Amino acid sequence: MKVNGVSHPAPTDPRRLLSDHLRHDLGLTGTHVGCEHGVCGCCTVLLDGAPVRSCLMLAVQAERHEVTTIEGLARDQAPLHPVQQAFHECHGLQCGFCTPGFVMSVVGLLAQHPSPSAQEIEEGIAGNLCRCTGYASIRRSVLRAAALSSPLVGKRRDGAE
């Protein structure tokens, strides 16, 4: 399996969840685990460019696929990805626990709808729970991310670098 462009050997325990594999076997702890039943969205990662719940996949299922985690959006020291930058500018995060999941979902949303309508934003971020912000600043972040992304949409369509 390829994670953030790096190949890794297949996990050995078939019941290991992808979320646990990323966090505890590969040390990519930016992917968070909030409910392990697919409701909260904290564990969202990109699988071949599309956002999915990593707590609802077995790690072995990611074999032969490309996984992008929050750590893969912008390299260390490199400028933030437009979605990350927008969340910063719009105070789209407080405790930061749900944030990686939201960012990955929004990357997927903007790939699908580069200039999302209000309803597309609502439904695009519904599926991720946030307990801190009340979502208002996240809506603003999505709009800002769309604006920041517009010249980059083609390049970033798969969400990865």
Per-residue binding string, another protein, 4-23, x by CB under 8 A, is ---------xxxxx--x--x
Shortest Å, Cβ 156 to another protein: 16
156 binds another protein (CB under 8 A): no
Neighbours of 157 (CB within 10 A): 15
3 binds another protein (CB under 8 A): no
Q: Which stretch binds another protein (CB under 8 A): 80-88, 144-152, 153-161?
A: 80-88
Kindly identify the residues of this chain, within the stretch 42-61, that bind another protein according to CB under 8 A.
42, 44, 47, 50-53, 55-58, 60-61
Amino acid at 129: L
Q: Are 56 and 45 in contact (CB under 8 A)?
A: no
- The residue assigned the tokens 């999505």 is 142
Residues in contact with 86: Cβ distance below 8 Å, sequence separation at least 6, in sequence order: 92, 141, 142, 144, 145, 147, 148
User: Binding another protein by CB under 8 A: which of 1, 3, 26, 33?
Assistant: 33
The answer to the question of residue 130 lying near another protein (CB under 8 A) is yes
Find the shortest distance in angstroms from Cβ 157 to another protein.
Answer: 14
- Farthest CA pair distance, the chain: 44
Please classify residue 100 by burial: count the beta carbons closer than 10 Å to its beta carbon, then call 0-12 exposed, 13-18 middle and 19+ buried. Answer: buried
* Least distance in angstroms from the C-beta of 126 to another protein: 4
Nearest distance in Å: CB 11, another protein: 11
Q: Contact, 34 vs 145, CB < 8 A?
A: no
Residues 87-106 interacting with another protein (rule: CB under 8 A): 87-89, 91, 93-100, 103, 105
